[in-house]
């Protein structure tokens, strides 16, 4: 079944970064965005400032949304109301980052993961659940690498009220609960 190799003599030229001149164009000034928080996330951020994790629910399909939406994206109808999630939950997945956002090597690795939150009066399977990405504190490299951290109970460590700004970073991290 073997015929001629395609593609034949693919063209393109590799260049050496030292020898070939490049035209560098830096971003001029300080481009910044002002993102609209919107209806649902606006209220969610206000809740964080008060030390609450808020979500919305849809009575038709029974889903609870954290982060909240003002509409159920599955039933395509307005949500039926707001619920308060506990600031506790279990680790659904976790990783250990050794690099920064710019891919620089970090001095100390940080653990991050997805926290599946508890909402009183509701049960969730793994298929769809209220969940947030956040830092996990109090977890060693081994806890993450051995996957012992999966399923562990964690609780939000909040910033002091006067330092909160209405941001996801009002929660410093989710701390592993030690028995």
Alpha carbons 82 and 88: distance in angstroms, whole number: 18
Of residues 46, 41, 44, 66, the one with CA closest to residue 164: 46
Q: Which residues bind other proteins (CB under 8 A)?
A: 1-15, 17, 20, 22, 25, 33, 35, 37, 41, 44-45, 65-67, 69, 73, 92-104, 109, 112-114, 126-135, 141, 144-145, 147, 150, 167-169
**Is residue 81 packed enough to be buried (19+ CB in 10 Å), middle (13-18) or exposed (0-12)?**
exposed
Minimum gap (Å) between residue 69 Cβ and other proteins? 8
Q: Closest distance between other proteins and the C-beta of residue 138, in Å?
A: 17
CB burial of residue 124 (10 Å; 0-12, 13-18, 19+): middle
Least distance to other proteins, CB of residue 161, Å: 18
In angstroms, give the least distance from the CB of 63 to other proteins. 8
């Amino acid at each position: 079944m073997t015929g001629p190799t395609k593609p034949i003599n693919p063209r393109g030229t590799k260049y050496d970064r030292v020898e070939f001149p490049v035209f560098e164009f830096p971003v001029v000034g300080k481009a910044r965005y002002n993102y609209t928080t919107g209806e649902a996330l606006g209220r969610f951020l206000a809740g964080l400032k008060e030390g609450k994790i808020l979500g919305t629910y849809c009575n038709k399909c029974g889903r609870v949304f954290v982060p909240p939406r003002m509409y159920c994206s599955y039933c395509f109808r307005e949500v039926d109301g707001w619920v308060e999630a506990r600031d506790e939950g279990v680790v659904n997945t976790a990783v250990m980052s050794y690099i920064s956002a710019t891919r620089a090597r970090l001095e100390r690795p940080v653990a991050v993961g997805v926290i599946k939150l508890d909402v009183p009066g509701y049960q969730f399977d793994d298929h769809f659940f209220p969940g947030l990405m956040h830092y996990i504190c109090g977890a060693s490299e081994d806890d993450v690498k051995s996957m012992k951290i999966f399923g562990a109970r964690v609780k939000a460590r909040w910033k002091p009220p006067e330092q909160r700004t209405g941001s996801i970073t009002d929660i410093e991290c989710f701390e592993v609960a030690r028995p």
